[in-house]
Structure 1
Amino acid sequence: MNLPVTNKQGGPPGKSGKWGKHVIEEARGRAFVYFCVLLMVVTIFSIVFFIASRGLTPFISQGVSVKDMLFGLKWKPEGNPPLFGALPFLFGSFVTSVLAALIAAPLGFCASIFMTEIMPKFGRTALQPAIELLAGIPSVVYGFVGLSVVVPFLRDVFPGQGIGILAGAIVLSVMILPTVTTIGTDALRSLPSGLKEGSYALGATRWQTIYRLILPTALPSLLTGVVLGIARAFGEALAVQMVIGNAPHIPRSLFESATTLTSIITLEMGNTTSGSLHNNALWSLALILLLMTFLFVFVVRMLERRVKR
């Protein structure tokens, strides 16, 4: 039995140079990918370590109580004694983010259903570019539009000055609408076509198929889009800061002024000295914001596991 002749490198005769070149290119590509991954991991851990080291300093060496910060109602860092109650900021962030999700979720789900089930071709042609355009608008533009349009409307229709929780929630709902819609559209398009065909074969109408089969099946993926939208709304600063009023207290209605974690950090960080108690307390708020982001990521991962099951 005649065996093919090979060279010392294991390739066909006369092609050792080409094979060696391929091996070198593969090694370079692998090394570049590993370097990028390592750089990304080091960057993430460096950011987490820096924020944690600065944010934990008030609790470890400067005598601030975790309980007082999480459940305190008064924020007076320059007072005597200084008070660092962050509950109004946590309340404002949670309420505006959840209200924004409650407004954006039905609109995003309906837009996703329209683009995938009702008029797919026209929907993709008309709605998809508009949604992508919303995602590219800077947050300061959203804040300016909210201050010029939403706030006067609320002032004329509802009691109060128009600035408050509801104005911030409306602005945030428009900002997170592209996230909810895009993820919902991808989730609906990824469903097996046999689901709809089987439903139609059993005599179900289009709307029965949508709300009894398609929506329950894609619900975990749709909720993933909602959670990611809440995560973005929770971390938004400038747009909310322009319309929420920035009052450090817990509001009694949706039409009263409030503030958020991101707003108080951006407003006061530039007026503090690095290493001071006030500055480190603001880093503690940033640490709370980072931990909430990790919580949202964990919820998204749990929903993804439910989808795979």
Structure 2
Amino acid sequence: MSAGLFGLLDDVAALARLAAASIDDVGAAAGKATAKAAGVVIDDTAVTPQYVHGIAASRELPMIKRIAIGSLRNKLVFILPVALLLSVFAPWALPYLLMAGATFLCFEGAEKVWGWISGSDAHAAPAAVEGEDVEKTMTSGAIRTDFILSAEIMVIALDEVADQTFWLRLGSLIVVALIITAAVYGVVALIVKMDDAGLALAQRSSTVAQKVGRGLVAAMPKVLSTLSIVGTVAMLWVGGHILIAQSDKAGFTAPYDLVHHAEEAVAHAIGSAGGVVPWLVNTGISAVLGLVIGAIVATIVHVLPFGKKKADH
């Protein structure tokens, strides 16, 4: 009886050690994958605040919460199962899916650039004026854009743990989805509520606090407008970069080779094997490619019958 009990305790201890080791493996793999996807996370953080620009202060956090929930749903319910299944049964299809999503990102970015140039959105009423329906539309747009960025994040993360077991991949990607969503939308919430923090500081008795508060209030509209521009550029940059990287994986190497040779030429010219300047070359080419592809797609869309109807309205 006692021998059986001790044997059972040994088995439980072995299982506990195995579980602890698995948790450590998931944590290490998730940390590696999250770090690798950090560049896209920055883009995601820059893109989102533009969707709450002009929203009434009382509706900013609820709207960000809905976008965050939608983002988590994108990652866990839609992207994660598909990515895992494709990685097992059809890994060749992932680059094509990512390129389709990147093309949509380029289209969205090009549409916004055209809006700035043409002034077609200059007289659009802010969401705070038009009410809940417009807020829902903007939330849906943010979640739709997040889907593409989330797909890129999750695929990058998946690539980092591709040599692990299925369950370790699953656990790592769930951790990545939770950490990145919390980080991105936590930062977004801080950004859009900085003006409220400024108002609170401006009402304090301290002269320094009042100056800081007034400075924050005065600066935030400019910060949000700048972030709107950064977000649009990020759409074009990320979309173009995905197209370049994934087309190379799909066998069409010309765009990737062109960018790589441009980086090498710049690195040789400045006498450095790497650094900020070659990265800027890659970023600039990606953004220009994203704008060109987006403009082509936008032109095609607006030539089609449903595109004309949308423009008329």
TM-score norm. by structure 2 comes to: 0.34
Larger Rg: 1
Name the structure, 1 or 2, with higher relative contact order (CA <8 Å, separation 6+): 2
TM-score norm. by structure 1 comes to: 0.34
